[in-house]
Structure formats: structure tokens, C-alpha cells
Amino acid sequence: MTERLGCTVPVIQTAMGWVAEPSLVIGSSNAGAFGFLGAAVMTPDECRAKILAVRQGTDRPFGVNFHSFQPGADAIVDLIVANSAQVRAVSFGRGPNAKMIGRFRDAGILCIPTVGAVKHAQKMVDLGVDMVTVQGGEGGGHTGSVPSTVLLPQVLDAVQVPVIAAGGFGDGRGLVAALAYGAVGIAMGTRFMLTRESPVADAAKATYLKAGTDQILVTTRLDGIPQRMVRTPLLDRLERSGPLGMWLRAFEAGRAMKRQTGASWLDFIKSARGMTGHGDVPLRQAMMAATMPMLIQKAVIEGDMQNGVMATGIVGGRIADMPTCAELIDRVMLEARARLAALCQHD
């Protein structure tokens, strides 16, 4: 992983919407990890400016995350390819086809999708990706029901490309465990979110640090797909809402997103359907799916705990400090080497 991505430690900083901004990507990349810019919530103009900001802040390689169904996706792909001198990889969930993956590979850009099921890993490999990140059920945001300790070896047995472990990882012990399974490294989201370089609002950081594992739950009320969140007043209201209440909240969130992005209602609904990945969910939940990034922005970036939601991995329940990215990586590697030394001791 370090050889192919050009980082110095086998750790990825994941592409969290609104959080994986230039400050965090620069901090994690300069610390030796591989940082991903979260362009899935950006317009092409924003993506252009933020890729430039990262390139001005670090000479290390980094990655860009996007969705092929987001508005302006083609222009973002062009930007990624145009910056291939330093953009070493792309990450994504659903979306890119073999042709798009081939275009990235022709530009020397590695494709590293995030998957949560064995069949999805196999499909991505068939399409020609270079590596896969496997997120177990402990992960934040959209998550599955299979824990990392089961899903990771399943995927390792099913594919022949390098596999990166995600979901529940936050320290050097987890890195050694993932390597012992056969992964080439780990990806961490929540742990990097709670660093000093993270753009998360101070009020949100304080809420995250106070939240124990008993205050972190999985909900299907946002878009019909299980997601792991910290309990907030808005999430509690959504959990109690009936069909009419869900429609009202979906419409309000959609109108706010339209004001911010300038997209038409047709574009908005198309994006909503794309985010759910299927046409078999109620339109109100598809609309909530499309507006979810704004709900995350409201709480996590603006610090409005009353009217936003807070994605997190379950590992957030045991994080209690706010190091710099450099301090975090130094600690992870020190812990990893200590564990390896303990395992290799002889009587």
C-alpha cells in the first residue's frame, strides 16, 4: 500500500463529506498517511480550488473521493485526471463503470472503492479496480451488519487485489490486527475527524468526545439504509416522525439544498435516486438521502446540534482526545511496533 500510494505509513484518512477538507488532507498526508479529499459534496469549482489548496499545502500524493451521480461529476473526473501528477488515487462507493475506471488507470490513478459486502468487492474487482477498502459494520455513516472481524477475512479470501481494512480502527493495535488478517493497511475516518486539523466545529468535537458507545446508534430514518450516528435532537425527531413528518422534513431539506447548489428539482430528484442506488425506496427517503450531506454540515461544520446529524464510527465511543495528525500517526506507529515486539518476544 505504501509503495503504490506513495505514503510512508499504511494508514488512509477517509473521505468524509464536509470533514475531509484541505486542512485535514494536508495534515494527514504530511504526517505520512494517505489523505482523501471529500469531493462528493463539492461543485466542480469548489473541487478545483480545494485540489489546488491541497497541492499548495503538501508535496505528498493524495486522493479524491467522488460519486459518479453527483452534479458535475464529469467535470470533477476531468479535474482529477488533470491533476494526476499528485492525485494518486480515487475512492468511491457505487457509480463508476469499467470505462471510467479504465480512464483513471490510463492516467496512472489508482481506483480504491469502499465496499461493505463480499459481492460488491468481487464486482469492483471485475470492473478493474486496483484495491478495495472493506468497511465492516463498525464503520460510520452507511454501514452493514457484518463486523470487520468477519467481513475482512471473507473479502481477503474472495479477491486477489490488496485489501484495506476499515470500520472500528483507531490505533496501532488495530493496524497490527488488520495486517495479521492479511490486509495491507487500515482506513480511519472518525479518528481523523477528531484531530486538530479537522474542520469540525468545536461544539461538534466536544459532543463527539462526550458520546459513549451507548449514545451511538444505527438508524434507517435518513434514507432507508442503515447509518451509524451520534444521537442528536434532530435524529430523535426523525426517529419519532410519521410519514407526513418525513415528507415535510424531506421537502424542507430539499429546498435548502436547492438554494445552496442551484440545482433544479429534477436534478435534485435524480441525485436523490442515485444516492440510494435503487428505485425501490420511498421518494421522501431518497430526498432525505440527497440532503443528508447538508444535515451533516449543519451539525458537524456549523455546530448546530439541534438541526443536524453526526455520522460516526462506533470507535468514536472510546476516543477521548484531540491530537494533531502528526501526533496521531506517531502514536499509531509506536503502538503498532510495541504490539509487534510483544508478539515476537521469545522466552
- CA–chain centroid gap for 111, Å, is 15
More confident residue, 266 or 16: 16
What is the model's pLDDT at position 63? 98
What is the model's pLDDT at position 138? 97
pLDDT tens-digit series, residues 85-96: 999 999 997 667
What is the model's pLDDT at position 284? 58
Amino acid letter for position 136: G
pLDDT tens-digit series, residues 67-83: 988 889 999 999 999 99
Name the nearest CA neighbour of 332 among 188, 143, 165. Answer: 188
Dist. CA 305–CA 112, nearest whole Å:
33
Share of the chain above pLDDT 70, in %: 84
From 67-71, 113-117, 168-172, 281-285, the region with the lowest mean pLDDT: 281-285
**Which grid coordinates are listed for 75?**
467535470
Alpha carbons within 13 angstroms on the beta-carbon side of residue 167 total 27
pLDDT tens-digit series, residues 215-251: 999 998 777 788 999 999 988 888 887 666 555 666 6
Ranges assigned E (strand) in the chain: 11-13, 34-38, 62-65, 87-91, 110-111, 114-115, 132-135, 141-142, 163-166, 185-188, 216-219, 227-230, 310-311
146-156 b/e (C-beta count within 10 Å ≥ 16 → b)? bebeebbeebb
What mean pLDDT value characterizes the chain? 89
Asked if residue 40 lies in contact with residue 65, where contact means CB atoms within 8 angstroms, the answer is: yes
Q: Indicate the SS3 state at residue 332.
A: helix
Burial class (CB in 10 A: 0-12, 13-18, 19+), 113: buried
What are the distances in angstroms from CA 28 to CA 7, 14, 24, 32, 201?
10, 10, 6, 7, 18
- Confidence label for 278 from pLDDT (cuts 50, 70 and 90): very low
From 66-75, 110-119, 272-281, the region with the lowest mean pLDDT: 272-281
- Main-chain dihedrals φ then ψ at residue 307, nearest 5 degrees: -125, 20
Dist. CA 165–CA 114, nearest whole Å:
10
